[in-house]
């Protein structure tokens, strides 16, 4: 028996979420719908211009770990915070959701990462992230026993921005594969793909990564094509298993010999798309590590993503286990 179903590794970030109009995005030079990396000065400026805001622990892989735990799965997380107020918030929140989190915090600077997220009336979120303590995540933060005892280790493509994190991920892959476990990643964002296309493809083609998550824009960016069918064909060739999401059109789960189309769930209104991809991965990996069919894995992913975009914030406020039972998926 393994101790954990899913271990996730990512940037430990506290989200500061506020609503805004389209003019705010334009006037402040924010790239809509993307994750914009910013420095401390820009973070202070945007914070000063924000309206009323909600603070909530986030970070892509942290959201995924919380989703797995909400389904009833056994989740663990690696990520770096500082010993400060936002760091305490992050540690409390992720542990309160039942996720194993023991990464040692930094004693001082840089401070815990924060992401100012502006949500426009269409529900789209534009993230402005100061990485802070995240950049200090390194190989020394890898808990070998946790990686060895996790069925799947999953990390976010955003980790390719802080340089030492790459070494941590490669160490996780070495340990995981040495223990017969699997490695998974999400491409995170099309701008992230454009920065690291060659490295991401090498991770996939070398077998360092077994399972890849992407959305339609990321898949197109990965292969520098406008032909979605071509992107799907190529991603199926480059990794053992891929799940590509398409917003309201659902998702496609691909292996070299099989393609499964999964519908999105019907929802009355999109409130905030923050965390949609993270929660899709949570549902999928919960199902995958429980031995469910690929179609069911996709359905669990669609359920979690559909629920999280009906609320403000990236972590499930409802019990995903209970919602899964209501939907007949658990």
Beta bridge partners of residue 152, listed in sequence order: 6, 182
Q: Evaluate if residue 125 carries a pLDDT over 90.
A: no
8-state DSSP, 82: B
Q: What is the pTM of this model?
A: 0.90
Tell the residue number behind the tokens 């989740």, with chain if given: 75
pLDDT of residue 2: 78
pLDDT of residue 31: 94
Reported as a single tens digit per residue, the pLDDT across 286-330 is 999 999 999 999 999 999 999 999 998 888 889 999 999 999 999
- Chain centroid, CA 163 distance in Å: 18
Q: Please answer whether residues 95 and 101 qualify as being in contact, where contact means their C-beta atoms are separated by less than 8 angstroms.
A: yes
The two structure tokens encoding residue 254: 């691909």
Q: Please answer whether residues 135 and 110 qualify as being in contact, where contact means their C-beta atoms are separated by less than 8 angstroms.
A: yes
Between CA 287 and CA 5 the distance in angstroms is: 10
Between CA 317 and CA 273 the distance in angstroms is: 14
């Amino acid at each position: 028996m393994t101790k954990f179903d899913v271990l996730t590794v990512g940037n430990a970030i506290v989200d500061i979420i506020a609503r805004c109009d389209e003019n705010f995005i334009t006037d402040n030079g924010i790239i809509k719908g993307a994750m914009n990396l910013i420095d401390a000065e820009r973070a202070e400026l945007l914070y000063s211009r924000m309206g009323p805001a909600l603070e909530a622990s986030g970070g892509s892989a942290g959201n995924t770990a919380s989703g797995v735990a909400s389904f009833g799965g056994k989740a663990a997380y690696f990520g770096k915070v500082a010993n400060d107020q936002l760091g305490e918030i992050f540690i409390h929140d992720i542990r309160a959701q039942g996720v194993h989190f023991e990464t040692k915090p930094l004693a001082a600077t840089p401070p815990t990462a924060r992401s100012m997220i502006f949500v426009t009336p269409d529900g789209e979120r534009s993230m402005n992230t100061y990485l802070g303590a995240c950049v200090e995540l390194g190989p020394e933060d890898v808990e070998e026993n946790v990686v060895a005892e996790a069925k799947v280790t999953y990390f976010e493509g955003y980790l390719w921005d802080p340089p030492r994190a790459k070494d941590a991920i490669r160490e996780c892959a070495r340990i995981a594969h040495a223990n017969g476990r699997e490695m998974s990643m999400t491409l995170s964002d099309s701008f992230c793909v454009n920065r690291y296309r060659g490295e991401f493809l090498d991770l996939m083609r070398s077998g360092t990564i077994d399972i890849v998550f992407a959305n339609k824009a990321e898949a197109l960016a990965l292969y520098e094509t406008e032909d979605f069918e071509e992107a799907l064909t190529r991603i199926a060739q480059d990794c053992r298993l891929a799940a590509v999401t398409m917003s309201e059109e659902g998702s496609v789960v691909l292996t070299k010999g099989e393609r499964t189309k999964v519908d999105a769930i019907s929802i009355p209104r999109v409130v905030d798309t923050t965390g949609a991809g993270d929660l899709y991965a949570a549902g999928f990996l919960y199902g995958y590590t429980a031995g469910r069919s690929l179609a069911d894995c996709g359905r669990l992913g669609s359920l979690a993503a559909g629920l999280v975009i009906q609320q403000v914030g990236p972590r499930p406020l409802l019990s995903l286990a209970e919602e899964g039972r209501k939907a007949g998926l658990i």
